Amino acid sequence: MRVFIPKPLPPDPPVVWTDELHQLLEKASGALGRLDGIAVTLPDTGLFLYSYVRKEALLSSQIEGTQSTLSELLLAEQLELPGIPKSDDGWEVVRYITAMEHGLRRLRQEDFPVSLRLIREVHEKLLKGGRGGDQVPGEFRTSQNWFGGDRPGKALFVPPPPEQVLEHMGALELFLHDKRIRMPTLVKAAFVHAQFETIHPFLDGNGRIGRLLVTLLLCADGVLREPLLYLSLYLKTHRERYYELLQQVRTQGAWEPWLAFFLAGVAETADQAIATARRLLELFRKDEQKFSAERSAGNILRVHQELRRRIVGSISSLAKATGLSDPTVTSALKKLEKLKMVSEVSGRRWGRNFCYDACLNILEEGTEPIPPR
């Protein structure tokens, strides 16, 4: 069995910065700046973040084999729905959201750095209580793992042995906080993601944590005020090329093609997020015009605004969030149903759940489950 021992960061020999790489960095940085500006121009950043974070959680989990859909996830989060087993794919995604929100809260509210401790905490939130819960959540692995093949001797890639994991992760943490190393945060994030995936420090959940690390780093360094950049759709679409480039980094030290791929993905993903935000704002504006002349327009607006944030909601949950009575919410939902904006999705007479269909359709683009191989 031949294990791979990664060299510490930054790369040596250094990355050769061609004109193409400089242009890609400039394009990615510009797109990221525009995306960060969206957080200022949105009338309510929360209405975009809630649904966008859930889309990212779904996509990141799909890369690992989860077959859930966005509508299933949103239904799973409605706590009044009984009978959803905790091993269900929808709950896998819910746990990802819990892990993501924990990491961001630690960074923002508690001024906690991106560190091995934070990474382990996020990993514990991701796996505890679900599939993978027996894979030592929150702890680095103490046994060997590998990619491809039914045993290490036939594997395509074998990460460092378990007794070296802490050493390599410690070196990665030192790189993160070495103030003598000056480089754009985007470049640092590209290096850290590739190195983390190479070390593969956990028995399960490495891919999801590695992708989440990118967002945590951008927020920790102040590049993004809100966690609006997620690369999972790009990596899902180009997953074969993604794996190929990571392997080239390991075997050939080919950092330049990986950086080009990563920066192109940041630019594309940021532009997609901006376009999605603009489409949602236009949808909300047009829909508001449709019920603005209604007698109870104020109550309808309050229910509509809450559905923007959560997309799926029950009468009781919408009443609690808006401060309106159940009959008032029911009446507003009937008006929205008549205007073909919402539909009932649970198929039940009691505890019914309603979906903001057009909003869901925009967010569901690209979230079709990956067919099993």
Tokens 């950092």 belong to residue? 255
Query: H or E element: which one contains 288?
Result: helix 255-291
Under 8 Å between Cβ of 70 and 309: no
Q: What is the pLDDT of residue 343?
A: 94
CB 66 within 8 A of CB 213: no
Share of the chain above pLDDT 90, in %: 60
SS3 assignment, position 231: coil
- Give per-residue pLDDT as tens, 180-206: 999 999 999 999 999 999 999 999 999
pTM: 0.89
Cα–Cα distances in angstroms (integers) from residue 136 to residues 125, 133, 139, 195, in the given order? 11, 7, 6, 21
Q: What is the pLDDT of residue 88?
A: 57
Nearest-angstrom CA–CA distance, 72 and 79? 13
First to last CA, the chain: 26
Beta-carbon contacts of residue 356 (< 8 Å; ≥ 6 apart): 304, 307, 308, 311, 312, 341, 342
What is the C-alpha to C-alpha distance for residues 112 and 114, in angstroms, rounded to an integer?
Answer: 7
* Structural domains in the chain plus CATH codes: 43-276 (1.10.3290.10), 292-363 (1.10.10.10)
How many CB atoms lie under 10 A from the CB of residue 293?
7
pLDDT of residue 82: 44
Residue 370 confidence (pLDDT) above 70: no
Alpha-carbon distances, residue 170 vs 81, 165, 201, 302, 338 (angstroms)? 43, 8, 11, 50, 59
Across the range 101-124, mean pLDDT stands at 93
Q: Which is higher by pLDDT, 31 or 40?
A: 31
Q: What is the CA radius of gyration of the chain?
A: 22
Q: For the residues of 209-230, what is the DSSP string, one character each?
A: HHHHHHHHHHHHTTS-SS----
E strand residue ranges, 290-371: 312-314, 342-344, 353-356
Range from 278-282, 338-342, 350-354 carrying the lowest mean pLDDT: 350-354
Poorest-pLDDT segment among 68-72, 288-292, 339-343: 68-72
**In this predicted model, which residue has the larger pLDDT, 53 or 304?**
304
The predicted pLDDT at position 153 comes to 76
**pLDDT for 242:** 96
Q: pLDDT band for 334, please (50, 70, 90 cuts).
A: very high
HEC readout, 38-60: HHHHCCCHHHHHHHHHHHHHHHH
What's the pLDDT score for residue 81?
43
pLDDT of 371? 63
| Mean pLDDT of the chain, nearest integer | 87
Residue 89 or 253, more confident:
253
Q: In Å, how far from its chain's centre is CA 263?
A: 17
**The pLDDT of residue 279 is above 60:** yes
